[in-house]
Amino acid sequence: ETGVTQTPRHLVMGMTNKKSLKCEQHLGHNAMYWYKQSAKKPLELMFVYSLEERVENNSVPSRFSPECPNSSHLFLHLHTLQPEDSALYLCASSQVRDSGANVLTFGAGSRLTVL
């Protein structure tokens, strides 16, 4: 248990479904992240929230919609996904400081399959 909990761990959805991924961190961190992990590819940063404000959106398609209601919770709302969106979606948190390493603590991920 890393202190970052993701649900569900596995999700299968059709292209017309709407679903949400949930992430909760119990570490008191001030930043939260969504990453996409595909086989044999580098982690792709999707969204960053720092102090509950979105500070990064790396040209992610609008069918992915993040929500950060407070510093402990992060959601990724999914709508009209494509089969190529099938991947492991990782949530992470960190305590951003003015100096020093920004070490990410990851959740175990939500494995998404789009049919």
Distances from the Cα of 4 to the Cα of 33, 59, 94, 97, angstroms: 11, 25, 10, 19
CB of 16 to other proteins, least distance (A): 28
Shortest gap between Cβ of 38 and other proteins (angstroms)?
9
What residue ranges bind other proteins (CB under 8 A)? 2, 4, 40-43, 45, 90, 101-109
Q: Among residues 31 and 78, whose Cβ is nearest to other proteins?
A: 31
Instruction: Give the DSSP letter string of 48-104.
Output: EEETTEEEEE-S--TTEEEEEEETTEEEEEEES--GGG-EEEEEEEE---SSS----
Q: Which is nearer to other proteins, 14 or 95 (CB)?
A: 95
Which one, 15 or 43, has the nearer CB to other proteins?
Answer: 43
Shortest separation between residue 80's beta carbon and other proteins, angstroms: 28
Q: d(Cα 107, Cα 93) in Å, to the nearest integer? A: 9
| Residue 105 C-beta: closest distance to other proteins, Å | 7
- CA quadruple 90, 78, 38, 31: dihedral sign: negative
Name the residue nearer to other proteins (CB basis): 57 or 102. Answer: 102
